[in-house]
């Protein structure tokens, strides 16, 4: 397939790029009148854009769309990311012109409906998380982490407790956790997990102290386990004078069932774009809403219409009020499901994951952590690689030939040949059965014809790219004469 620049021909279709006014056209005139732009605002050279007809442009991008793969095309079990189907009603409401045609600088009384959206979303999400207040300014999950850790930092500074320089992060955490702590000026202290994937309590006790600012933790954790010692974990940190931060990446497993606030967490972020129905992936938009207990409320950035930033606030973390339409989608999702529906979604996500995990084990795969999982699970393919030479990457590439998007590969880092599956609550039993049959076939092929797995995929648009070369020598733009 040709690149859009390869379809370009000088002078073709470029008239659409010329700004013009045409309320009425003079049939006697030779051309459309051109809008006069002051010289100071004019480009000094023409933009380097492809020159194609609208017809060719439309066909080109439709062809690209047919090559892409999303949750509406097939099974997409990307672990730790919750790539689930999102109801179209949320998109319909989010595109309603009375929501899309607003401006953040218009008078407050003309945006009362939007204010209600924020107020209701805060009420419902605080109820789900057990928090007392919430800001919707953060634009994404990692941005929410950054905001939450800044709240912890501001809290300690307000008390003159400036010796607290350390954030504790389990080794199974998302990579953004230690990065966030470092960006906020903290020293990162990593603690090991136990063989069953839980936080090592002895290791935790050995590192907490007067320098402990807080703990960043995901529960269920990144290996898909709900930590049975969660109350003891948060108590240990609190007894040392630290605060507890909840990474909401895995809330899909416990929403409506267990609340971070009840587990002892003081602040949390939510990925509204993965848990509460905005389509995930493709670069956005997102929303990393941050909820907190009352002790941290004075430090929140302004979050609602007309609210002024207090003296202790960490200040704005994004312009205006955050990504409003993402919050709107989340609200529609919650109002559609209701209390019982939110709980059922979490329970079904857990049921689907355990069903698939069990079937994969019966097919011959080895789970990294035995026993019941939550909404996701991790396979350990180290033995398969040792016996056949077929790696987790080879298995993932083989899945492409069967119309299934690969799961998360080589994560978490504590499992060296990891494949991480999250089937979500929106997949049917039939889909899960078909996916497990595919995985069983791939396992059989690995032992009978390992080379076929090494060369996969075989029937996709492109074969296996040289990923090492792509990483070391990326070509991110098209050069043309």
Query: What are the residues whose beta carbons fall under 8 Å from the beta carbon of 114, sequence distance 6 or more?
Result: 99, 102, 305, 324
pLDDT, mean over the chain: 91
pLDDT value for 24: 54
Q: Are 267 and 292 in contact (CB under 8 A)?
A: yes
Above 90 in pLDDT, residue 429? yes
Q: How many residues does the chain have?
A: 481
Question: Which whole number is the average pLDDT over 454-467?
Answer: 92
Above 70 in pLDDT, residue 481? no
Above 80 in pLDDT, residue 307? no
Residues 412 and 408: their CA atoms lie apart, in Å, by 9
pLDDT value for 281: 67
* Pairing between β-strand 290-292 and β-strand 267-269 as defined by DSSP bridges: antiparallel
Query: What are the residues whose beta carbons fall under 8 Å from the beta carbon of 61, sequence distance 6 or more?
Result: none
Above 60 in pLDDT, residue 15? no
> pTM of the full predicted structure?
0.90
pLDDT value for 249: 92
At 303, the pLDDT band (50, 70, 90 cuts) reads low
pLDDT value for 309: 66
The tens digit of pLDDT for each residue in 353-369 reads 999 999 999 999 999 99
Q: Are 394 and 453 in contact (CB under 8 A)?
A: yes
The tens digit of pLDDT for each residue in 142-193 reads 999 999 999 999 999 999 999 999 999 998 888 899 999 999 999 999 999 9
């Amino acid at each position: 397939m040709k690149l859009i620049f390869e379809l370009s021909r000088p002078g073709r279709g470029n008239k659409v790029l010329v700004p013009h006014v045409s309320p009425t056209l003079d049939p006697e005139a030779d051309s459309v009148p051109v809008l006069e732009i002051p010289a100071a605002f004019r480009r000094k050279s023409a933009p380097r854009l492809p020159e194609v007809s609208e017809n060719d442009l439309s066909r080109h991008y439709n062809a690209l769309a047919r090559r892409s793969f999303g949750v509406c095309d097939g099974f997409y079990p990307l672990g730790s990311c919750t790539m689930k189907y999102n109801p179209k009603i949320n998109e319909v409401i989010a595109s309603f012109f009375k929501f899309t045609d607003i401006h953040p600088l218009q008078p407050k009384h003309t945006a009362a409906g939007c204010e209600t959206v924020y107020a209701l979303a805060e009420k419902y999400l605080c109820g789900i998380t057990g928090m007392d207040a919430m800001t919707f300014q953060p634009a994404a999950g990692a941005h929410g982490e950054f905001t939450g850790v800044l709240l912890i930092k501001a809290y300690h500074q307000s008390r003159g407790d400036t010796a607290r320089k350390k954030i504790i992060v389990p080794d199974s955490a998302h990579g953004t956790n230690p990065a966030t702590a470092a960006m906020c000026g903290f020293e990162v202290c990593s603690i090991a997990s136990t063989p069953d994937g839980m936080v090592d309590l002895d290791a935790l006790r050995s590192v907490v102290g007067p320098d402990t600012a807080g703990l960043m933790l995901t529960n269920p954790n990144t290996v898909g386990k709900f930590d049975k010692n969660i109350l003891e974990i948060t108590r240990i940190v609190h007894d040392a004078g630290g605060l507890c931060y909840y990474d909401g990446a895995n809330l899909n497993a416990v929403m409506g069932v267990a609340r971070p606030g009840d587990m002892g967490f003081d602040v949390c972020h939510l990925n509204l774009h993965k848990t509460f129905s905005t389509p995930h992936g493709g670069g956005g938009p997102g929303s990393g809403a941050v909820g907190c207990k009352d002790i941290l409320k004075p430090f929140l950035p302004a979050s609602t219409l007309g609210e002024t930033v207090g003296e202790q606030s960490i200040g704005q973390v994004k312009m205006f009020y955050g990504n409003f339409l993402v919050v709107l989608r989340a609200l529609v999702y919650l109002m559609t499901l209701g209390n019982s529906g939110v709980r059922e979604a979490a329970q079904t996500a857990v049921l689907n994951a355990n069903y698939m995990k069990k079937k994969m084990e019966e097919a011959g795969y080895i789970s990294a952590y035995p026993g019941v999982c939550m909404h996701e699970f991790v396979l350990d393919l180290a033995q398969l690689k040792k016996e056949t030479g077929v790696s987790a990457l080879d298995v993932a590439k083989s899945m492409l030939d069967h119309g299934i998007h690969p799961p998360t590969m080589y994560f978490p880092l504590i499992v060296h040949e990891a494949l991480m599956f999250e089937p979500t609550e929106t997949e049917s039993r039939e889909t899960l059965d078909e996916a497990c049959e595919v995985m069983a076939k791939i396992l059989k092929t690995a032992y009978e014809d390992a080379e076929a797995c090494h060369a996969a995929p075989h029937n996709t648009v492109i074969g296996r790219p040289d990923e090492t070369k792509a990483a070391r020598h990326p070509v991110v733009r098209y050069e043309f004469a």
